[in-house]
């Protein structure tokens, strides 16, 4: 492991940096063996100068080719990084680690070659690029193309782009590319893709001024690259990475600079120094798959976005594909009416994608006073309140519905345990059979390939093995049941739930359901499982104990609720209050008692009613809050003098730090 010196605060603050650099010691405990900086940007001049002055190697970092969902300047951290201890891929005046990997790519193992082909197919199929926040090209349907003429795309770049400077190009190179494209394609439509900031005046492009001609279409919108490239017939570029993405899409590419993929025989290269690179032995014939394997699989490093640990390109592809789909699905302005403050905080993370702007409006009357944008939609919980539905009809706005997901949480929503999943439906909602839903549409029209089926089977197996359900409360142990009888499970529900109101026209009470099952199966062994919200006393639908005993052979009681409550008390932190050891001891004793009640109920040692557990929970929680007894991680962190001269430990619950979407400054 090499010890590394990093001057840049932005690099040091990169989320999960140690996972990207497991072979480097970043703790500054020993003299540095290398200096790490961000590529060849001016901000890395200090690091490069220090390395040269102390005769140390310089290691360059750069964003990977599959970076993130959104932009780094908007706080989206990298999911891939490039680490180059020789040069950097866009500086073709000198060798780089990528160049060496490509030269050795003819000896790729068959497994790596197969992985490269799979990753290429998934990237193009899911339309993934370096950044993935932009909308798809509006004319993705071939039938909507403006004419039958071939479409030639020229890729502009912004002035000051490091890839242009170190790729042997300048303003004259772009002018040459433009004139050549016109001469070689007289019958084609010429499209020029430039940066959105160019037309707004924030940045300067190379082709903006010379593109003001007839039959030249200037595209300045923020368009997702793959969706645009798929509509073209030929691509001209200087050093842009979009040129390589065009190759992935199967488009012929002509280069006028020295991008990393030029000179290997996969595109038409017009730069005069290409011949020098071939003569010096720095370029030879390679296939597109070999270039991809070297750049995306060997040269780039990835983290698993879900764990923050070292990962693979397939971890990032899977995450970006799902995130990009959600980003497109939620694109626009969403207005949510009459949502409580607690539920606002709960649902916000699910809509935290670049293209979605979530607004909370107190009442429908306030909604009528808003000047709505063209992409406005309403967002409602569940089936939606009548006022919200009528408002959507009145304003002619699309209505999205959301509901808890099928794997929700460890604990109940009625106990204010936040959800870990949501269902968002733009057609209806899955529990309403009277209207179509997005789930119904997916089941009818989605083609599930072998990868989808394999993924589903693996998830199914893992859920069963881990005993994962919607709420994940209650005990997993069950009593012995007679093997000679047919065993039936009767799940109870909340009787005023929307799924009952909309989907149960005849039997809508738990007791009626239980009675009907017994009447139709007199010889079966029936297990009744009450809904956890009902067991907690938060919702209606309780079946009297004598009725349960009459129609069911066994009742699967949910007793983990009290255990969850005990954990809540344990994690209670009286911030800023003086720790009182006696109060803390009393709190712990009360927790032990509360847990004993739960265990007694679990093993049927005593018959406890729900109100007793609720009363005990309320009493103990109130006592802890009133006394200031901090039972969270009891250990002294700071000694502060009190009025009586005693030193009293101040105890605080230490929450995890760090933000996966921290701002990026290099």
CA 137 to CA 578: how far, in whole Å?
60
Q: With contact defined as beta carbons under 8 Å apart, do 260 and 236 qualify?
A: no
Neighbour count for residue 653 (Cβ, 10 Å):
13
* Residue 271: closest CA among 282, 283, 263: 263
pLDDT at position 606 over 90: no
- pLDDT tens across 426-451, in order? 999 998 888 899 999 999 999 888 87
pLDDT reported for residue 548? 85
- pLDDT tens across 136-155, in order? 987 654 445 556 889 999 99
Neighbour count for residue 542 (Cβ, 10 Å):
18
End-to-end CA distance of the chain: 24
- pLDDT tens across 69-93, in order? 998 888 899 999 999 999 999 999 8
CA 121 to CA 123: how far, in whole Å?
6
Number of helical (H) and strand (E) elements in the chain, helices listed first: 25, 23
CA 158 to CA 238: how far, in whole Å?
12
pLDDT reported for residue 564? 47
- pLDDT tens across 449-501, in order? 887 899 899 999 999 998 898 888 876 555 566 778 888 999 988 888 888 88
- pLDDT tens across 279-292, in order? 898 999 999 999 99
Cross-sheet strand order for the sheet of 34-38: 24-25, 2-6, 34-38, 58-63, 80-84, 300-303, 310-311
* Residue 88: closest CA among 145, 48, 127: 48
pLDDT reported for residue 211? 67
pLDDT reported for residue 663? 40
pLDDT tier, 639 (very low <50, low <70, confident <90, very high otherwise):
very low
pLDDT at position 265 over 50: yes
pLDDT reported for residue 331? 94
Q: What is the full DSSP assignment across 20-60? A: H-TTEE-S--S--SEEEEETTSGGGHHHHHHHHHTT--EEE
Helix (H) or strand (E) holding 624: helix 610-627
Residue 594 vs residue 574, higher pLDDT: 594
Phi and psi for 603 in degrees, rounded to 5? Answer: -100, 15
pLDDT at position 242 over 70: yes
pLDDT reported for residue 338? 87
Q: What is the full DSSP assignment across 394-437? A: HHT--EEEEEE-SS--SS-GGGTPPPS-EEEESS--TT-TTS--
pLDDT reported for residue 153? 96
pLDDT reported for residue 600? 54
Beta strand 34-38 with 2-6 is parallel
CA 394 to CA 365: how far, in whole Å?
12
């Amino acid at each position: 492991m090499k010890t590394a010196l990093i001057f840049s605060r932005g690099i040091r603050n990169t989320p999960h940096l140690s996972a990207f650099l497991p072979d480097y010691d970043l703790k500054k405990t020993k003299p540095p063996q290398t200096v790490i900086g961000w590529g060849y940007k001016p901000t890395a001049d200090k690091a490069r100068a220090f390395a040269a002055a102390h005769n140390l190697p310089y290691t360059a970092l750069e964003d990977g080719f599959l970076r993130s969902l959104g932009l780094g300047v908007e706080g989206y951290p990298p999911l891939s990084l490039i680490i180059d201890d020789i040069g950097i891929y866009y500086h073709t005046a000198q060798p780089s680690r990528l160049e060496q990997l490509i030269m050795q790519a003819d000896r790729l193992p068959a497994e790596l070659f197969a992985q490269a082909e799979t990753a290429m197919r998934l990237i193009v199929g899911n339309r993934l690029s370096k950044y993935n926040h932009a909308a798809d090209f509006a004319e993705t349907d071939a039938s909507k193309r403006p004419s039958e003429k071939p479409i030639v795309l020229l890729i502009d770049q912004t002035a000051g782009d490091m890839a242009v400077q170190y790729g042997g190009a300048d303003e004259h190179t772009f002018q040459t590319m433009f004139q050549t494209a016109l001469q070689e394609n007289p019958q084609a439509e010429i499209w020029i893709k430039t940066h959105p900031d160019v037309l707004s005046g924030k940045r300067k492009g190379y082709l903006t001024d010379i593109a003001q001609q007839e039959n030249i279409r200037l595209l300045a919108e923020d368009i997702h690259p793959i969706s645009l490239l798929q509509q073209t017939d030929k691509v001209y570029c200087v050093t842009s990475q979009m040129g390589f993405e065009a190759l992935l899409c199967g488009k012929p590419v002509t280069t006028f600079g020295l991008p990393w993929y030029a000179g290997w025989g996969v595109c038409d290269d017009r730069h005069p120094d290409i011949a020098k690179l071939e003569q010096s032995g720095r370029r030879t014939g390679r296939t597109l798959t070999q270039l991809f394997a070297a750049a995306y699989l060997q040269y780039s490093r990835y983290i698993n976005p879900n764990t923050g640990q070292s990962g693979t390109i397939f971890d990032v592809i899977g995450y970006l594909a799902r995130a990009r789909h959600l980003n497109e699905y939620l694109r626009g302005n969403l207005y949510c009416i009459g949502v409580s403050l607690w539920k606002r905080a709960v649902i916000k993370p699910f809509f935290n994608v670049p293209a979605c702007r979530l607004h909370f409006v107190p009442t429908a009357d306030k909604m009528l006073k808003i000047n709505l944008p063209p992409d406005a939609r309403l967002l409602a919980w569940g089936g939606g309140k009548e006022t919200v539905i009528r408002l959507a009809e009145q304003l002619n706005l699309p209505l999205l519905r959301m509901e808890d997901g099928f794997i929700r949480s460890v604990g109940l929503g009625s106990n204010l345990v936040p959800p870990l999943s949501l269902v968002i439906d733009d057609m209806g909602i899955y529990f309403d059979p009277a209207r179509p839903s997005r789930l119904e549409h997916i089941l009818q029209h989605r083609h599930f390939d072998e990868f989808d089926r394999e993924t589903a089977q693996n998830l199914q197996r893992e859920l069963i093995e881990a005993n994962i359900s919607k709420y994940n409360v209650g005990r997993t142990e069950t009593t012995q049941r007679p093997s000679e009888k047919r065993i039936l499970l009767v799940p109870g529900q909340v009787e005023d739930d929307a799924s009952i109101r909309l989907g149960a026209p005849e039997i809508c009470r738990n007791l009626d359901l239980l009675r009907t099952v017994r009447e139709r199966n007199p010889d079966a062994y029936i297990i009744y499982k009450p809904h956890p919200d009902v067991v907690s006393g938060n919702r209606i639908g309780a079946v009297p104990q004598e009725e349960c005993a009459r129609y069911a052979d066994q009742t699967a009681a949910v007793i983990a609720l009290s255990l969850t409550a005990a954990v809540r008390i344990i994690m209670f932190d009286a911030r800023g209050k003086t720790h009182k050891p006696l109060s803390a001891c009393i709190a712990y004793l009360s927790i032990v008692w509360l847990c004993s009640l739960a265990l007694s109920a679990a093993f049927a040692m005593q018959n406890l009613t729900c109100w007793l557990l609720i009363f005990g929970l309320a009493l103990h929680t109130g006592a802890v809050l009133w006394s200031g007894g901090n039972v969270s991680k009891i250990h002294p962190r700071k000694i502060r003098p009190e009025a009586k001269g005693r030193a009293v430990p101040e105890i605080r619950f230490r929450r995890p730090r760090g933000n996966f979407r921290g701002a990026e400054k290099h």
